[in-house]
Amino acid sequence: MNKTALIPSGISSLRLAALPIFLYYYSTNNLLLCIIIFGLSLVTDLIDGYVARKLNVASKTGAYFDALTDFVFITGIFAAFTFSGYYPAWIMALIVASFGQFIISSLYSQKLHDPLGKYIGSVLYIAIGLTLLLPTSIIFTIVEICFPIFAVTSFISRSVSITVNYRHKVLLQEINLHTKGHST
Protein backbone atom coordinates (compact mmCIF):
# COMPACT_ATOMS: atom_id res chain seq x y z
CA MET A 1 0.00 0.00 0.00
CA ASN A 2 1.18 3.50 -0.87
CA LYS A 3 1.62 5.25 2.49
CA THR A 4 1.67 8.62 0.74
CA ALA A 5 -2.00 8.05 -0.06
CA LEU A 6 -2.77 8.19 3.67
CA ILE A 7 -1.50 11.76 4.11
CA PRO A 8 -4.62 13.57 2.79
CA SER A 9 -6.92 11.30 4.83
CA GLY A 10 -4.74 11.95 7.87
CA ILE A 11 -5.20 15.67 7.32
CA SER A 12 -8.98 15.19 7.04
CA SER A 13 -8.94 13.08 10.21
CA LEU A 14 -7.63 16.06 12.15
CA ARG A 15 -11.14 17.55 11.95
CA LEU A 16 -12.53 14.45 13.64
CA ALA A 17 -9.91 14.77 16.38
CA ALA A 18 -10.65 18.49 16.75
CA LEU A 19 -14.39 18.05 17.26
CA PRO A 20 -14.37 16.77 20.87
CA ILE A 21 -11.79 19.41 21.78
CA PHE A 22 -13.97 22.09 20.21
CA LEU A 23 -17.05 20.78 22.03
CA TYR A 24 -15.20 20.74 25.36
CA TYR A 25 -14.12 24.37 25.01
CA TYR A 26 -17.56 25.33 23.72
CA SER A 27 -19.13 23.78 26.83
CA THR A 28 -16.80 25.89 29.00
CA ASN A 29 -17.69 29.06 27.03
CA ASN A 30 -14.13 29.51 25.81
CA LEU A 31 -15.07 30.97 22.44
CA LEU A 32 -11.55 32.15 21.66
CA LEU A 33 -10.20 28.59 21.72
CA CYS A 34 -13.27 27.42 19.78
CA ILE A 35 -12.51 29.99 17.09
CA ILE A 36 -8.86 28.90 16.95
CA ILE A 37 -9.77 25.19 16.75
CA PHE A 38 -12.41 25.94 14.13
CA GLY A 39 -9.92 28.01 12.10
CA LEU A 40 -7.31 25.26 12.18
CA SER A 41 -9.94 22.71 11.19
CA LEU A 42 -10.99 24.91 8.32
CA VAL A 43 -7.38 24.97 7.12
CA THR A 44 -7.33 21.15 7.10
CA ASP A 45 -10.44 21.17 4.92
CA LEU A 46 -8.80 23.59 2.51
CA ILE A 47 -5.54 21.66 2.16
CA ASP A 48 -6.50 17.96 2.23
CA GLY A 49 -7.75 17.89 -1.36
CA TYR A 50 -4.88 20.07 -2.54
CA VAL A 51 -2.36 17.71 -0.94
CA ALA A 52 -4.11 14.70 -2.49
CA ARG A 53 -3.89 16.25 -5.96
CA LYS A 54 -0.25 17.35 -5.51
CA LEU A 55 0.77 13.86 -4.34
CA ASN A 56 -1.28 12.37 -7.18
CA VAL A 57 -3.29 10.23 -4.75
CA ALA A 58 -6.72 11.86 -5.16
CA SER A 59 -9.47 9.25 -5.14
CA LYS A 60 -13.22 8.95 -4.93
CA THR A 61 -12.82 7.20 -1.57
CA GLY A 62 -10.71 10.08 -0.28
CA ALA A 63 -13.27 12.60 -1.49
CA TYR A 64 -16.04 10.72 0.32
CA PHE A 65 -13.93 10.51 3.47
CA ASP A 66 -13.40 14.28 3.28
CA ALA A 67 -17.16 14.82 2.92
CA LEU A 68 -17.80 12.45 5.82
CA THR A 69 -15.37 14.29 8.09
CA ASP A 70 -17.01 17.58 7.10
CA PHE A 71 -20.40 16.11 7.93
CA VAL A 72 -19.33 14.85 11.35
CA PHE A 73 -17.49 18.05 12.21
CA ILE A 74 -20.23 20.43 11.03
CA THR A 75 -23.06 18.36 12.51
CA GLY A 76 -21.27 18.13 15.85
CA ILE A 77 -20.83 21.89 16.02
CA PHE A 78 -24.39 22.59 14.93
CA ALA A 79 -25.60 20.12 17.56
CA ALA A 80 -23.81 22.23 20.16
CA PHE A 81 -25.36 25.38 18.70
CA THR A 82 -28.79 23.73 18.76
CA PHE A 83 -28.41 22.63 22.40
CA SER A 84 -27.35 26.19 23.22
CA GLY A 85 -30.61 27.46 21.74
CA TYR A 86 -28.97 29.25 18.83
CA TYR A 87 -30.73 27.21 16.17
CA PRO A 88 -33.90 25.09 16.02
CA ALA A 89 -33.64 21.32 15.64
CA TRP A 90 -34.96 21.43 12.07
CA ILE A 91 -31.67 23.03 10.99
CA MET A 92 -29.92 19.83 12.11
CA ALA A 93 -32.37 17.74 10.11
CA LEU A 94 -31.75 19.88 7.04
CA ILE A 95 -27.97 19.57 7.45
CA VAL A 96 -28.23 15.78 7.69
CA ALA A 97 -30.56 15.68 4.67
CA SER A 98 -28.24 17.93 2.64
CA PHE A 99 -25.16 15.84 3.29
CA GLY A 100 -27.14 12.64 2.79
CA GLN A 101 -28.45 13.74 -0.56
CA PHE A 102 -24.99 14.91 -1.61
CA ILE A 103 -23.39 11.55 -0.81
CA ILE A 104 -26.20 9.38 -2.20
CA SER A 105 -26.64 11.35 -5.40
CA SER A 106 -22.87 11.46 -5.93
CA LEU A 107 -22.80 7.67 -5.68
CA TYR A 108 -25.67 7.42 -8.15
CA SER A 109 -24.30 9.58 -10.89
CA GLN A 110 -20.93 11.00 -11.83
CA LYS A 111 -22.19 13.99 -13.80
CA LEU A 112 -24.67 16.05 -11.84
CA HIS A 113 -25.53 19.65 -12.50
CA ASP A 114 -25.72 21.10 -9.03
CA PRO A 115 -23.93 24.42 -8.92
CA LEU A 116 -24.72 24.77 -5.21
CA GLY A 117 -24.47 21.26 -3.77
CA LYS A 118 -20.71 21.08 -3.67
CA TYR A 119 -20.72 24.27 -1.59
CA ILE A 120 -23.04 23.02 1.18
CA GLY A 121 -20.06 22.40 3.46
CA SER A 122 -18.59 25.81 2.66
CA VAL A 123 -21.85 27.57 3.43
CA LEU A 124 -22.10 25.73 6.73
CA TYR A 125 -18.50 26.55 7.60
CA ILE A 126 -19.31 30.23 6.99
CA ALA A 127 -22.42 29.88 9.18
CA ILE A 128 -20.31 28.36 11.96
CA GLY A 129 -17.70 31.10 11.66
CA LEU A 130 -20.33 33.83 11.81
CA THR A 131 -22.06 32.14 14.74
CA LEU A 132 -18.80 31.93 16.67
CA LEU A 133 -17.68 35.46 15.87
CA LEU A 134 -21.07 37.19 16.14
CA PRO A 135 -23.49 35.05 18.17
CA THR A 136 -26.42 37.43 17.75
CA SER A 137 -30.03 36.99 16.79
CA ILE A 138 -29.43 38.66 13.43
CA ILE A 139 -26.80 36.03 12.53
CA PHE A 140 -29.07 33.22 13.71
CA THR A 141 -31.91 34.61 11.60
CA ILE A 142 -29.70 35.00 8.53
CA VAL A 143 -28.54 31.37 8.84
CA GLU A 144 -32.11 30.16 9.44
CA ILE A 145 -33.28 31.90 6.27
CA CYS A 146 -30.30 31.52 3.91
CA PHE A 147 -29.26 27.93 4.57
CA PRO A 148 -32.72 26.44 3.90
CA ILE A 149 -33.00 28.41 0.65
CA PHE A 150 -29.54 27.22 -0.37
CA ALA A 151 -30.26 23.61 0.64
CA VAL A 152 -33.66 23.43 -1.08
CA THR A 153 -32.22 24.92 -4.27
CA SER A 154 -29.48 22.29 -4.16
CA PHE A 155 -32.04 19.51 -3.57
CA ILE A 156 -34.02 20.68 -6.59
CA SER A 157 -31.00 21.03 -8.90
CA ARG A 158 -29.65 17.59 -7.91
CA SER A 159 -33.07 15.97 -8.33
CA VAL A 160 -33.56 17.54 -11.76
CA SER A 161 -30.05 16.51 -12.79
CA ILE A 162 -30.61 12.91 -11.65
CA THR A 163 -33.91 12.79 -13.55
CA VAL A 164 -32.36 14.21 -16.73
CA ASN A 165 -29.39 11.82 -16.48
CA TYR A 166 -31.73 8.86 -15.96
CA ARG A 167 -33.90 9.83 -18.94
CA HIS A 168 -30.79 10.29 -21.08
CA LYS A 169 -29.50 6.86 -20.06
CA VAL A 170 -32.87 5.21 -20.85
CA LEU A 171 -33.02 7.00 -24.21
CA LEU A 172 -29.52 5.78 -25.10
CA GLN A 173 -30.47 2.22 -24.14
CA GLU A 174 -33.59 2.43 -26.34
CA ILE A 175 -31.53 3.75 -29.24
CA ASN A 176 -28.99 0.93 -28.80
CA LEU A 177 -31.77 -1.68 -28.69
CA HIS A 178 -33.41 -0.15 -31.76
CA THR A 179 -30.08 -0.01 -33.61
CA LYS A 180 -29.25 -3.63 -32.77
CA GLY A 181 -32.71 -4.73 -33.89
CA HIS A 182 -32.23 -3.18 -37.34
CA SER A 183 -28.70 -4.47 -37.84
CA THR A 184 -29.67 -8.15 -37.65
Give 10-residue mean pLDDT values along the chain (184 residues).
87 97 98 98 94 92 89 97 97 92 71 68 95 97 95 86 80 81 61
SS3 category, 6: helix
Q: What is the pLDDT of residue 163?
A: 83
Q: How many CB atoms lie within 10 A of CB 39?
A: 11
Please list, in sequence order, all residues whose beta carbon lies within 8 angstroms of the beta carbon of residue 140, skipping any fewer than 6 positions away.
86, 87, 131
d(CA 116, CA 114): 5
The CA-CA-CA angle for residues 96, 69, 78, to 5°, reads: 45
SS3 category, 116: coil
Q: What is the pLDDT of residue 170?
A: 83
Q: How many CB atoms lie within 10 A of CB 91?
A: 21
Q: What is the pLDDT of residue 87?
A: 97
Domains of the chain are 3-183 (1.20.120.1760)
Please name which of 24, 27, 45 lies closest in space to residue 125, comparing C-alpha atoms: 45
Rounded to two decimals, the pTM is: 0.86
